[in-house]
Amino acid sequence: MPSDDLRTFLEEDRKGDPSGRVVRLLRERGSLSAAEIARASGLAKSTVSSVLAELRRSEIVVDAVAKTTSRSSRAGRPGTAVTLNPRAGACVGVAIGPTDIRVIAADVSHAIIADQSVEMPLDYSPQTAAKVTRRLIEEACAKSGVSRAALIGAGIAVPGPVHPETGRVQRASMVPTWAGTDIRRVFAPELDLPIFADNESNCSAIAEMLWGAAVGCDNFIFFKVDLGIGGAIVVDRRVITGLAGGAGEFGHMTLDPAGELCICGNRGCLELYGSLRPALRLAAARFGASITIEELIERANAGDVGCRRLIEDAADVAGRGLAMVGTAFNPPLIVVGGRATAAGDLLFEPLLRSFDRHTLIKRSEMPEHLRTRIVAGTFTADDSCLGAVGLVLKHHGRVGEARV
C-alpha cells in the first residue's frame, strides 16, 4: 500500500516539487490525462510523463477505471486518464443540517464509497454532533471495507461563517446554538483526523467546482436559494473566506433597513424576502398546513397560480440581490444552487429578468463572450456534504495545523 508515501504528498506543501504538484492536481481534480496535467500545472509534457512513470511505479497513481459514479468527473474521460490510487486513502465529508447529519466518504480517486445520514432533534449540540459523526464514520468504514487508518481527513460543512484559521463558528443561523463553537476542539478529539471546515455555501461552491456546473471555470459566484440565501465567491479556484469567514454571505445584505428582524440581528436582509421561506409561510396560511419547498414547487407545476406567484416574487427579489453581486463582481459565471432551482424556468425567468434590470452590465446588451452565464447548480440536496469531501481533497479550510 502506498498510503504513507501519498500521505507525505498530501500533508506536505510541495508546490515547488513536480511530483507534489501532480499529486495535488490529481487529488483536487480526480482523473486527468497527461496533457490535461501539463496544461493545468504548467509543467513540460516530458516532465509530466516522467513524473507519472515514477508515480505509477510507486503505485501512487493508477489508470482511471472506465466505471464511474454519477457524481464523479470521470464520466466521458478518455482511457488514458490517471487517478490517485483509490486504495491509497479516503476522506469524509460531514454536513451539519438543521435536523440531520450526513456523512459521505470518497476515496482519493473521487469515487464515492459511502453515504450515511441520521435525523437529529432541533438545536442539537456540537458535542452531540461530533459523537454522532464518529459513529457515522465508523459505519461508513465498516460498510465500504475502508480501514479507519486509510482516512486522510474530515471536512465539515457548517451552517454559519467559520473563521478560516481557528475554525471557530462566527455566527450560526440555521443551528443558532453553534455560534462561537471551536470546530477543531469539538471534532478533533472524537474523530482523530485532520479537520477541515467551512460554511455550507462555500462547500457547495467547491462541489460545483470539482464535479458540477462550474467544472473548468476558475472564477465564479455561487448563489443559493433555499430556506435562506447563501453564497460563495471563487477566484482562481479558491473560495474567498474573508478575514473572519464572512465573505459571500449574500443573504444578509440589507434590502430594507426598516424591514423585519433577521435571525442575524440586522433588519430587512435579502433572505427575508428572496428565499423561499416567506413563500412557504404564505402558502401555509393559504392551505392551512405547513408545506415543504418540494410541495410548493409541485403545486406550482400543477398550475396553482398562488404558488407560481410566490416563487416568481421570491425570484424577483433574489434577482435584485444577485444584481448587486453582479455589479460588484461582474463574474463570468453564476451558479444558482439550492432546492429552489427545481422550479426551473418558474424561478430562472423572473430571476434573470430582475438581475438584468438591476445590475450595471446587462446581459442583454453584451456580446456572447462578455455575458455573465447564469446556470443551475448540478447538486441540490447533497451539495454541501459533497463539498465537505472537497474541502479535504482541495486542502481548503484546515483548522489548526497540528494533528490531534
Minimum gap (Å) between residue 368 Cβ and Zn ion: 36
CA separation for the pair 96, 30 (Å, rounded): 25
* Residue whose CB is less far from Zn ion, 28 or 249: 249
Residue with cell 425567468: 349
HEC assignment per residue over the chain: CCHHHHHHHHHCCCCCCHHHHHHHHHHHHCCECHHHHHHHHCCCHHHHHHHHHHHHHCCCEEECCCCCCCCCCCCCCCCCCEEECHHHCEEEEEEECCCEEEEEEEECCCCEEEEEEEECCCCCCHHHHHHHHHHHHHHHHHHHCCCHHHEEEEEEEECCCECCCCCEECCCCCCHHHCCCEHHHHHHHHHCCCEEEEEHHHHHHHHHHHHCCCCCCCCEEEEEECCCEEEEEEECCEECCCCCCCCCCHHHCECCCCCCECCCCCECEHHHHHCCHHHHHHHHHHHCCCCCHHHHHHHHHCCCHHHHHHHHHHHHHHHHHHHHHHHHHCCCEEEEECHHHHHCHHHHHHHHHHHHHHCCCCHHHCCHHHCCEEEECCCCCCHHHHHHHHHHHHCCCECCCCCC
In whole angstroms, the minimum distance from the beta carbon of 253 to Zn ion comes to 9
106, 262, 317, 392: residue in contact with Zn ion (rule CB under 5 A)? 262
Q: Which is nearer to Zn ion, 103 or 262 (CB)?
A: 262
CA distance 166 to 251: 24
Between 117 and 266, whose beta carbon lies closer to Zn ion? 266
Identify residues 218-257 at the interface with Zn ion (CB under 5 A).
Answer: 252
- Least Å distance between CB 263 and Zn ion? 6
Provide the CB-side half-sphere exposure for 390 (13 A, CA): 29
Min separation Cβ 224 and Zn ion, Å: 15
Please identify, using beta-carbon distances, which residue of 266 and 301 lies nearer to Zn ion.
266
Give the nearest distance from C-beta 199 to Zn ion in angstroms.
14
The footprint of Zn ion on this chain (CB under 5 A) covers a number of residues equal to 5
Please, what is the Cα angle at 162 between 157 and 163, to 5 degrees? 145
Shortest Å distance, C-beta 363 to Zn ion: 28
Question: Toward Zn ion, which CB reaches closer, 10 or 229?
Answer: 229
User: Nearest distance from residue 202's CB to Zn ion, in Å?
Assistant: 17
Task: Considering the complex, state which of residue 179 and residue 264 has its C-beta at the smaller distance from Zn ion.
Answer: 264
Q: Site residues for Zn ion, window 166-185 (CB under 5 A)?
A: none
CB of 285 to Zn ion, least distance (A): 23
Which part of the chain contacts Zn ion (CB under 5 A), choosing from 21-29, 37-45, 258-266, 378-386? Answer: 258-266
Which is closer to Zn ion, CB of 249 or CB of 383?
249
Among 52, 106, 130, 269, binds Zn ion (CB under 5 A): 269
CB of 269 to Zn ion, least distance (A): 3
- The answer to whether 198 touches 241, Cβ cutoff 8 Å, is yes
Residues 285-324 that bind Zn ion (CB under 5 A): none
Nearer to Zn ion, 219 or 266 (CB): 266
Query: Considering the complex, what minimum distance in angstroms separates the CB of residue 251 from Zn ion?
Result: 7
Nearer to Zn ion, 89 or 230 (CB): 230
Q: Which stretch binds Zn ion (CB under 5 A): 261-269, 305-313, 320-328, 373-381?
A: 261-269
In the complex with Zn ion, which residue's Cβ is closer, 68 or 173? 173
Q: Taking CB under 5 A as the rule, does residue 264 contact Zn ion? A: yes
Q: Which residues bind Zn ion (CB under 5 A)?
A: 252, 262, 264, 266, 269
